[in-house]
Each structure stands twice: as structure tokens, then as C-alpha cells.
Structure 1
Amino acid sequence: MTAASRQSEVAAPHRGSRNLGYVLVATAATGWGTWPLILKHAVMPAALSAAIMMVVQTVFSLPVMLKDRVPARARPSHWLGIAWLGVADALNVFLFFAAYQRTSVAIAVLTHYLTPVFVALAAPVVLGERSHARTFGAVATSFFGLVLLLQPWNAALSSSDLVGAALGAGSAVFYASNVLVNKRLAHVFSASELMFFHGLVAIPLLWAMVPAGAFAAVSASSIAVVVAGALGPGALGGLTFVWGLRRIAATHASVLTLLEPFVAVVMAALFLGQGLGEAQILGGILILIGAVAVITAGRQQRAEIE
């Protein structure tokens, strides 16, 4: 057993805290599922929407951070982690929004949600978390459900689709990095501190990618929509996710985030008139089965520790 795993087990939160962690992560993922509806009403370059979102999140987190500090003293390596988190999150959001603009929502979301696979593979090495066959089974079940739910084969693939898929997969790599780095820094920085400090790095990087004159060309209503999204699923969702991540394993959190595309498709069916076929309904059920399997795997792991 590695030192990291021993430390994780010693510091493991009690059962009620873990259950709260599952609820918080699931709540954040549910809120993120509304982003397709938000972006549909805010036409602008991907870098601009990502930059606006990051500015709002960072400003929102400042007053929260002043009352939500962790007494631990951060070492230089921890601040390097914050810097990397800022770079990775900026690229995660930018690439994901860019994927939406290049290809279908199905292909963009499907490739973006390779994240749980990357986290499940990397967490035992990066975080020293125990590997469980049930967790990998949950990843496979949920991802297969995601394929059925989104059905990327319904659209003829073009060169733009391939570029969009590459952008989505790239965002998945950085999203997975965010989950792992957040977990490593959770004992040194609070959720609001993580959001604020990494935003100071991400904001200038994203604004540097905004095309000249893009902000002036965008309507005030589109900006208002992105700001509203940045406050809701952006800032509140981000804080909720990190609060939950502090209480549960990174692999479990990453699989629970598969609720995001499930919610997105249901929202589209209810509010955009995009009906669900039998295969999509089955896919949604499989995603939920995978999420339940993650939770039960967490209980099995706790029983082994206790």
C-alpha cells in the first residue's frame, strides 16, 4: 500500500459525509446538463463564452473564499498544481465549447465524456486509490449507455466531425486532469480557494484566445445568458462539485458526472421537442445503473477499510 493510499484511508470522511459527497457531485452534474440549452441562446466564439464564464466564476468565488479558507500552508508544489489547474481548466472549457461548434452535440459530448475512463485508469497511480473491478465495470456500463443515449452514428461523419471529436477528446484529457488535481489539492485549498486561484491563471489564457473585436460584436442578450449560466451551473456547480469531490473517490465522482449528458438529453426532449427513442431510453437507464454501481462500490470499499 502506498503512503498516499494510507493517508487517504486515515483521512477518509465518515459515511454521512461520503453520502453527501455523492449527492453534491450528482447535483453539480445535473446542473451542467443545462449547458447545451444555455449555449443555444448565446451565439459567440467558444473562447469568449469560456472567458466570460471563467471571469464570473472567479469573481463569484472571491467573497465565498474569504469565509472558506483552509488553515493548511500551501507549499510551492501546491501552487504549481493551482497553476496547472488553471491551464487545464481553461483548455477543458475552450475545447469543449469549440467541439460543440464543430460537430453534433452527440459527438462532442460523447468524446468529452471519455473523462471517467481516463480518471479510472489514472487515479490508482496519481492518487493511490484502490482499483475495484466494479468501478471499471461501472465505467464501461455508463459509457455504453452514453453511446446508446447520444447515438453519434445518426449523423454522417465529416472532416468537421472528426475535428470536433478530437476537440472533445482533448477536453476530456484536461477534464480528467482537473478531477485528479482537485483531489490532490483538496486538503490544502477549500473549494472556493481552488476556484478563485485557478481562475486567475485561466482568465488571461482564455482572453488571449478571444478573436479581436469578438466581444463588441456579441449582443448584450447573449452575454447575459452566458453570465447567468456562469453563475448557476458554472460557479455554483463548480463549488458543489469540488465540495463533493473532497468526500468521495475521484473515480466515483467522474462516473457520476455522466449524469450530465443524461440530463441534457432529457432537457432537450422536454423543452426543445427532441424526442427519445427506445435505444436512448435504454442508454439513460444504463448510465443510472453505472452511477448506482459506483455508489455501491464505494460502500464495499468503506467496508473493507473499516
Structure 2
Amino acid sequence: MSGILAIVVASVLWGTTGTVARFADDVSALATGAFAMGMGGVLLALTAGRVLLLDKKKLWASPGWLCVGGLSVAIYPLAFYSAMQLAGVAIGTVVSIASAPLFAVIMECLIGRKMPTFQWCLSFAVGVAGVLLLTLGQHQEASLAGSVPERYAGMVLGLLAGLAYATYAWGAKRMISRGVHSSSAMAGMFGVAALVLLPSLTFTGSNLFATATHAGVALYMAVVPMFLGYLCFSYGLRYVDVSRATLLTLLEPVVAVLLAVAVLGERFLALGWLGMVLILVSMVLQTGRPLLLRRRAVRLSRHTVRE
């Protein structure tokens, strides 16, 4: 249960990124993403310094996953924030996050040789239906904010972000399963990503700290959703499969939409709100059944002891 709760907290923190980024609209999305993930990686590496040293040999025993995971971490923010800028906060977030569970379960089947359960498939189907309704429920005026090619380009970048997200989550899980501490696995990948992302600010980050608002947005993104969010997510991966963890993060677009409506004034039709309900139902399906099974197991064990 603690692993699920940690992933839910991470999802809520991540759901704030799109709305917060809009307060620095004239800052390049590439600069925002590069600074947030890059500095988040530096903070993760600094706080995990001791366990990183202890796990150094274990990390280099899986150099492929460390490098692939690190590059995926570097690709994710660039694709994610660009998707939101081109397709809108809600749609960019929805496509990016909703595609990640599918990519994760494909990796689980191909690499982990583990087929998805009926519970996961049902939860995923309900979640995808919710995502589709959420997308269709975007108000027409908001959906026409950009040109058609820009919206489609944003959706493609959202799919790339989903693939990158699933890849580094899977990489972290593989390293954790081989004895690497969760903090070391995440800090190692984010450290590799920081080596790629932070130098890119030379070309994209000229306006990043131009005003107090820009600076506040940049620091918030690095510290809260990236550093704290990924601390929670790495802890959750100790106890939760990647396919299930990425499915639970469908909560992120719900948070993003609620904030987009409350703070940015975006409007959604009834279909959008129904979609959010379905996403929440998807999460209940994913978390409720195991809890019921555990309670039954506890009751049976108590009954056996009494006998």
C-alpha cells in the first residue's frame, strides 16, 4: 500500500507541471524541461550520494539500462513540454501519460516475459476510455488554439514522451530488481540525463531567469515535481510493477485538467468530466481488488490461527 500511495503522491506533484509552466509562457519549453529534469537529477544525485557510492559496482553491472534510462530521462522533458506547448496543457499531458502504460506493458511482455493480468487489462481499458473522453471533452475554443499540424505534432511528441517515460521507469525497475537501491537507480539515470540536459541551456535558457516569476517557475519545477516527485516514484517502484505504476500515474492528467480549469480558465464539456470519472474508476480497479484480496487473506489467516 505504501508503494501505491507514493506513486499517487508523485502523480499529483507531476500534474502541477503543465499549469505552473504556463506562468513562464515566453520561456522555451525545451529550457523549462531541461532545467527541471537536469537540476532535479543533480538534487537526486546529491541526496543519494552515500548509496550511490555503495551501489557503484551494481550500477555499472547494468550499463545498458543506466545509459538507455538516462537518455530516456533526457528525452522525456523535451518531448513532454513541447507536446504541451503545441497541443495544449491538458491534451499534451493526457497523450504523454496515457500512452506510457501501454508502452510499459509491451516492455513487460517482451523483456520481462510477463503477461498482463485481467485486472490490469480491464483497468487500462477503462483508463483509455477516460483519456479519450477527456480529450474529446476539451472545449472547442481551447482545442483550436493552435493550427492542426501543430496539434498533431504535439500528439506525436506526447507519444514519444510516453515511450521515454515507460523506458526509464522500466530501466529503474530492472536495476532495483538486481539489488540496486531505488534512490541510486533513479539518481544514476537522472545524473546521466543532467549531463545532456544542463549544457543544452546554453542555447535555450537565455530567458529562464529573466524575471522573478521565471526563476520561481524554474526552481519549483526542479525541486517539487522532479526532485520530490521522483523520490516518491522511485520508492513506489520497489513494491509496484512498472505496468501498474505507469497506469496509476493516469491520475496526473486528472490533476492537470483540474488545475487547467481552475487556474488557467480552460473549459471542458461534460464528456471531459466523464472521462475524469472513468480515469478515477480505473485507479480504483487497479488498487481496490488487491486490497480486498489482502483483507480476505488476513481474515483467513486469523480464522486458521483461532482454529
Shorter-normalised TM range = 0.7 to 0.9
Q: Please list the CA deviations of residues 184-217 of structure 1 after superposition, one character each: whole Å capped at 9, or x if unmatched.
A: 01143323323332233212322454463x4333
SS in 2 for 1:166: helix
SS in 2 for 1:114: helix
Q: Please list the CA deviations of residues 99-126 of structure 1 after superposition, one character each: whole Å capped at 9, or x if unmatched.
A: 1222222332232121111112321332
- Quick check: 1:194 aligned with 2:185? yes
Q: Please list the CA deviations of residues 135-159 of structure 1 after superposition, one character each: whole Å capped at 9, or x if unmatched.
A: 1121111121122123268435611
Aligned to 1:8: none
Aligned to 1:223: 215
Equivalent-residue separation in structure 2 for 1:52 and 1:271 (angstroms): 24
Partner of residue 206 from structure 1, selected from 187, 192, 197: 197
Aligned to 1:278: 270
Deviates more, 1:143-152 or 1:112-121: 143-152
Deviation of 1:299 (Å): 5.2
Q: For residues 117 and 85 of structure 1, do their structure 2 counterparts lie closer, same or farther at Cα, with a shift above 3 Å needed?
A: same
- Quick check: 1:238 aligned with 2:238? no
Equivalent-residue separation in structure 1 for 2:159 and 2:195 (angstroms): 24
Q: Is the 8 A contact 1:135 1:297 kept in 2?
A: no
Q: Is the 8 A contact 2:28 2:205 kept in 1?
A: no
Q: Is the 8 A contact 2:139 2:267 kept in 1?
A: no
- Quick check: 1:248 aligned with 2:232? no
Q: Amino acid of the residue matched to residue 45 of structure 2?
A: L
Q: Is the 8 A contact 2:59 2:180 kept in 1?
A: no
Q: Is the 8 A contact 2:35 2:201 kept in 1?
A: no
- Give the gaps of 5 or more residues in structure 1: 1-18
Aligned to 2:4: 22
Deviation of 1:280 (Å): 1.9
Partner of residue 116 from structure 2, selected from 123, 131, 139: 131
Partner of residue 39 from structure 2, selected from 50, 56, 60: 56
Q: Please list the CA deviations of residues 198-257 of structure 1 after superposition, one character each: whole Å capped at 9, or x if unmatched.
A: 233212322454463x43334142133111121011100011011011111211111110
Aligned to 2:132: 147
Equivalent-residue separation in structure 2 for 1:220 and 1:272 (angstroms): 20
- Give the gaps of 5 or more residues in structure 2: 302-307
TM-score, normalised to structure 2, is 0.83
Identity rate of aligned residues, in percent? 23
Q: How many residues align?
A: 286
Q: Amino acid of the residue matched to residue 198 of structure 1?
A: M
Q: How does 1:73-152 map to 2 (within 5 A)?
A: 73-74=57-58, 76-112=60-96, 113-151=98-136
Equivalent-residue separation in structure 1 for 2:113 and 2:244 (angstroms): 14
Deviation of 1:170 (Å): 0.9
Over the aligned positions, Cα root-mean-square deviation in angstroms equals 2.6
Q: Is the 8 A contact 2:15 2:256 kept in 1?
A: yes
